[in-house]
Structure 1
Amino acid sequence: MANENGEGEDIPVAANVLGTIGTILWCIQLVPQIWYNWRRKKTEGLPASMMLLWATCAVPLGIYLVLQNVNIPLQIQPQIFGALSYVTWGQILYYDHGYSRLKAIVVVLAASAISGGLEALFILTLRIPYRKGTTWPALFFGIIAAIMLTLGLIPPYFEIRKRHGRVIGINWFFLAIDTFGALFSLFSLAAQKSFDILGGVNYILVALLEFGIYGCHTVWRIRNRKLLREAKKSGRSVDELLEERELERQRQRELESSNGERFTGIDYDEEKSRPSTEAHSVDGGFVQEPAGWHRT
């Protein structure tokens, strides 16, 4: 989310420069991810729900910024961000959800048209009341946008959990650009005379959640450094080695299960056929006799 600089506010030069950098970064952050998806022809590990939340959050964000009548670059930023998010979402549908290319394109275009129509409708409806002093609807849309943007970073953690901390499918250039966009925007707010709490909290949450993603993968690499060295030495991919290990673990579990069942079956059969014994003393010693025998 770009920093919200209202008209007539005396904005320091540093705040303007930092805010402009943050806005530019948040306009282009998804370009490396789109290229990464296209080159690999798969999006495994990149949640569709993340991109859909980001794409749809551009609607309330655009309403909020346009109603506030901020400068034109800031008004354009949500539109570019939403469009790139929809493109990424379409790639996920096409590469990993079984959609045909035509179906994915139609779905993305339809969703984009609906989003654009809703944004225009709310802007035209709320612009006059906003100018008359009714500003709470704009604040409401700003809060919704901040919540949706932050929630979009939750689904990757479910993917990370499935892979025991490993991050796949997310391009690191994309994530780094997004993190720097949040940090520059936060620094811009800090450089202003008044601090926008809504924007500041949103930038902090985004940065923290993304640092969490970096941290999870870093820990995974430390814990699996031997595997990484083995992959580098053998010239094989980490995925191949992980798949080989998983197959080996499955075979081991099946073998242990099979041995356990066979051992239990033998024990049971022998126990049924073998007469039980009991000990008794004879002249100070002990002699075991089958329980079914009786001394006379």
Structure 2
Amino acid sequence: MYNGVAENVLGTMGTIFWCIQLIPQIVHNYKRKDCEGLPPSMMFLWALSGIPFSIYFVGTDGSIPLRIQPQLFTLFCTISWSQTLYYPPVRLPKWRLVAYVGSFLVVALGLEFGFIFWLRPVYRHGTHWPMLVVGIVASVLLAIGLLPPYFEIWKRRGRVYGINFFFLSMDSAGALLSMISIIVGTMDIMSMVLYAIVLFLEMGIFLCQIVWYLAGGRQVIKKEKAERKEAKNFKELDLVKVDSDENTTYDQAEKEETSPNHV
């Protein structure tokens, strides 16, 4: 049964989640100064998918939120992709990083403007299949982008490492809410398939972590926390020792200078 209000509310909520879902991951990367476990290919494919998504939603005269969403999505994906190239384990030189990201943004803007000005008049005249192809390409890139994390999970024997679960939860919530909005509103098979694939792959990532945790991952996490705490305490003790040694050296030098026998 069609429900326009529910469709708009759920669709808007899903769009909001898909606009800001990567912010927790970006903050997570920045705090750790390390992107191990977060594949650069994932973030690049997602940033790449934002280009045809933008062409599709602008070219089909979508609503304002639908036009804004791929722009923000591409922006945050590009920032996260830049982090995966800058932080370990990749650690590209800054000039190469700027060259890669700058080239991508120039090409992205060129493709968006070119295809929108070319295909929007075609769509408005009733020929819809070119835009449908663009939408399918965007959906495929987004779905393929969720495959590299499974290789990282396989390398770590089921453990999800480097991916922020708050980000993953927001992304899954966005897919779920958008899918429900289609069910209660106007049915769009292509969008439905996209949201279902994204939700399925992300639920698989959650499931891998749960299985790993129950199969002994809890002990691994406890051990890592203990090692980090021990390393932190050792570092603090080392700093105190260095400071103490410097003070001792300074006191000895001061005594020598004030000694009557000092020349």
The TM-score range, normalised by the shorter chain, is 0.7 to 0.9
1:250-295 Cα distance to aligned partner (Å, 9 max, x none):
xxxxxxxxxxxxxxxxxxxxxxxxxxxxxxxxxxxxxxxxxxxxxx
Output the aligned Cα RMSD.
1.9
> Aligned pair 1:220/2:212, yes or no?
yes
Q: Percent identity?
A: 46
Q: Say which structure is richer in strand.
A: 1
Instruction: Please give the alpha-carbon distance, in whole angstroms, between the structure 1 residues aligned to 2:221 and 2:84.
Output: 31
After the TM superposition, which residues 242-281 of structure 1 pair with which residues of structure 2 at under 5 Å, given as runs?
A: none
Q: Note the residue ranges of structure 2 that are not aligned, 5 or more in a row.
A: 232-263
- SS of the residue corresponding to residue 46 of structure 1 reads coil
Q: Which has the higher contact order (CA 8 A, sep 6+)?
A: 2
Query: Residues 211 and 121 (structure 1 numbering): CA distance in 2 closer, same or farther, change over 3 Å?
Result: same
Decide which structure has greater helix share: 2
**Paired residues, what number?**
228
User: Could you tell me which residue of structure 1 aligns to residue 226 of structure 2?
Assistant: 235
Long gaps (5+) in structure 1: 1-9, 241-296
Describe the superposition over 1:65-99 as per-residue Cα deviations: whole angstroms up to 9, x where unpaired: 11110111110111110111111111111113221
CA contact (8 A) 1:186 1:204 kept: yes
| Larger gyration radius, structure 1 or structure 2 | 1
Structure 2 residue aligned with 1:132: 125
Give the conservation status (yes or no) of the 8 Å contact 1:83–1:112.
no
Q: Is the 8 A contact 2:60 2:120 kept in 1?
A: no
- Corresponding residue for residue 193 of structure 2: 201
**What residue in structure 1 maps to residue 107 of structure 2?**
114
CA distance in 2, matches of 1:151, 1:63: 19
How far apart, in 2, do the equivalents of 1:38 and 1:63 lie? 31
TM-score by length of 1: 0.73
* Alignment match of 1:163 (pick from 156, 159, 172): 156
SS at match of 2:35: coil
TM-score by length of 2: 0.82
Q: Does 1:12 align with 2:8?
A: no
Runs of 4+, deviation exceeding 4 Å: none
- 1:150 aligned to 2:146? no
The Cα shift of 1:134 comes to 1.1
Aligned residue number for residue 64 of structure 1 = 56
- Map of 1:105 onto structure 2: 98
Q: Which of 67, 86, 106 matches 1:94?
A: 86
- In 1: Cα distance, 2:218 partner to 2:60 partner: 54
3-state secondary structure, aligned to 1:236: helix
Asked if 1:54 is matched to 2:46, the reply is yes
